[in-house]
Structure 1
Amino acid sequence: MSPGLRHRLRILFGTRLGLSTAGRACAVQFGVLSGAAQLYLTFWPDSTLPRGTTFLVIAGVALAGGIVQSWPRDRVSHDFTHPQFSVTLAIGDLFDQPCHLVIGFNDVFDTDTTDDLVIARRSVQGQFLHRVYAGEVDRLDRELAVALTGKQPVAVEERAAKRAGKLSRYPLGTVAVLGLPARRYFLSAYGTMRNDLTVGSGPDEVWHSLGELWRALHVHARRETVAMPVIGSDLARIDTMDHASLIKLILLSFVTTSRQSVVCKELTIVVHPEEYERVDMLELAAFLRTL
Structure 2
Amino acid sequence: MRRTVPHPSIRPVRRWLPGSRLGRRAFVTQALVAFGGVSAAVQFAGQLFPDAVSRPGPVLAGSLALCLAWGLARSRQPTCVRQEFTRPGMTVVVEEGDLFDRPGHLVVGFTDTFDTVVGDSSVINDGSVQGQLLARRYAGDVRRLDAELAAALHGVAPVATETARDKPRGKRARYPLGTVAVLGSRPRLVFAVAYSRMGNDCVASSNVRDLWTGLERLWDAVRDHGELGRVTMPLTGAGLARLYDLDEDSLLRLILLSFVVHSWERAVCRELHVVIRPGELGRINLPETGAFLDTLAAGARRHV
Under TM normalisation by the shorter chain, which class is it? 0.7 to 0.9
State whether structure 2 residue 284 is matched by structure 1 residue 284.
no
Residue type at the aligned position of 2:174: R
Offset from partner CA, 1:122-148 (integer Å, 9 cap, x none): 000111011110111111111111111
Deviation at 1:4, TM superposition (A): 3.1
Question: 2:139 aligned to 121, 124, 134, which one?
Answer: 134
Aligned to 2:219: 214
Q: Which of 12, 17, 22 is 1:4 aligned to?
A: 17
Corresponding letter in the other structure for 1:252: L
Structure 1 unaligned regions, length at least 5: 23-59
Aligned-partner Cα distance in 1 for 2:25–2:83: 20
Alpha-carbon distance in 2 for matches of 1:15, 1:261? 43
Query: What RMSD in Å do the two structures reach over aligned CA positions?
Result: 2.5
One-letter code of the match for 2:173? S
Equivalent residue of 1:105, what SS?
strand
Partner SS for 2:178: coil
Identify if the C-alpha distance between structure 1 residues 11 and 263 changes in structure 2 by more than 3 Å, giving closer, same or farther. farther
Structure 1 residue 254 and structure 2 residue 289: aligned? Answer: no
Counterpart contact for 1:11–1:280, Cα < 8 Å: no
Which amino acid counterpart does residue 17 of structure 2 have in structure 1?
G
Q: Go from structure 1 to structure 2 and tell me whether the alpha carbon gap of 1:3 and 1:166 turns closer, same or farther (over 3 Å shift).
A: farther
Question: Is the 1:102–1:226 Cα contact (8 Å) retained in structure 2?
Answer: yes
Shift of 1:3: 7.3
Distance 1:237 1:15 in 2: 32
Residues 199-243 of structure 1, C-alpha deviation per residue, up to 9 Å, x if partnerless?
A: 111000100110000000001111011000111111310111111
Equivalent position to 1:241, from 227, 234, 246: 246
Which ranges of 4 or more aligned residues in structure 1 deviate by more than 2 Å?
2-16
- Which is worse superposed, 6-15 or 262-271? 6-15
Give the drift of 1:10: 3.3
Task: Note if contact 1:147-1:178 (Cα within 8 Å) is conserved in structure 2.
Answer: yes
Q: Given the alignment, which residue of 85, 90, 98 partners 1:85?
A: 90
Name the amino acid aligned to 1:161. Answer: D
Rounded Cα–Cα distance in structure 2 between residues aligned with 1:9 and 1:162: 44
Q: Decide which moves more: 165-174 or 269-278.
A: 269-278
2:164 paired with 1:159: yes
Say whether residues 1:72 and 2:84 are aligned partners: no
**1:1-291 correspondence to structure 2 within 5 Å:** 4=17, 7=20, 9-10=23-24, 12-14=26-28, 71-291=76-296
* Inter-CA distance 160–92: structure 2 relative to 1 (3 Å threshold): same
Instruction: Specify whether residues 15 and 271 from structure 1 end up closer, same or farther in structure 2 by C-alpha distance, changes over 3 A only.
Output: farther
- Asked whether the 8 Å contact 1:144–1:176 carries over to 2, the reply is yes
Structure 2 Cα separation of the partners of residues 15 and 165 of structure 1? 49
* Change beyond 3 A, Cα 1:161–1:279: same
- The amino acid of 2:117's aligned partner reads D
Alignment check: 8 A CA contact 1:214 1:257 kept: yes
For structure 2, the residue ranges without an aligned partner over 5 or more in a row are 1-14, 35-65, 297-304
Q: Please say if residues 104 and 125 of structure 1, whose CA atoms lie closer than 8 Å, have aligned partners that are also in contact.
A: yes
Shift of 1:11: 5.9
Measured after TM superposition, the shift of residue 196 of structure 1 is: 1.2
d(CA) in 2 for partners of 1:288 and 1:251?
Answer: 8
Flag the structure with higher helix content.
1
- The CA distance in 1 between the partners of 2:26 and 2:16, in whole Å, is 14
Does the CA contact (< 8 Å) of 1:111 and 1:137 recur in 2? yes
CA distance in 2: counterparts of 1:256 and 1:266, whole angstroms: 15
Letter of the 2:86 partner, please give it: T
Q: What one-letter code is carried by the residue in structure 2 that aligns with 1:212?
A: R
The answer to whether the Cα contact below 8 Å between 1:12 and 1:72 also exists between their aligned partners in 2 is no
Q: Report the count of equivalent residues.
A: 246
The letter of the residue matching 1:10 is R
Of all paired residues, the percent bearing the same amino acid is: 46
Q: Please list the CA deviations of residues 99-128 of structure 1 after superposition, one character each: whole Å capped at 9, or x if unmatched.
A: 110000000100001211100000001110
